[in-house]
Structure 1
Amino acid sequence: MSFYSEKPPVLLRSAQAVGVLASAIVFGQNAFISFGAVPAVMYAPAPLAVRQWIKLYDVGHYIGPAGAILGALSSAYVASQQKTSSLAFKLNVAASVFAIGILPFTFAFIVPVNKKLFAKEKLIGAAALEDKAVEAGVAREETVHALLDKWATLNFVRALISGVSAGLAAWTAVDKLEGIVINAALKSGANRLG
Structure 2
Amino acid sequence: LFLQSAHIRDEEVKQAVSAGQHRVESMALIHQKLYQRDNLAAVEMQDYFRNLANSLFDTFGMKDRARLKLDMEPLELDVDKAVPLGLIVNELITNSLKYAFPDGREGTIRVALKQEPGEGLVLEVEDDGVGAGDAAQGTAFGSQLVTLLSQQLGGHLVSGNQSPAGYNTRLVIGPKAG
Q: TM-score, normalised by structure 2?
A: 0.30
Larger RCO, structure (CA 8 Å, separation 6 or more): 1
| Greater fraction of residues in strand | 2
Q: TM-score, normalised by structure 1?
A: 0.28
| Greater fraction of residues in helix | 1
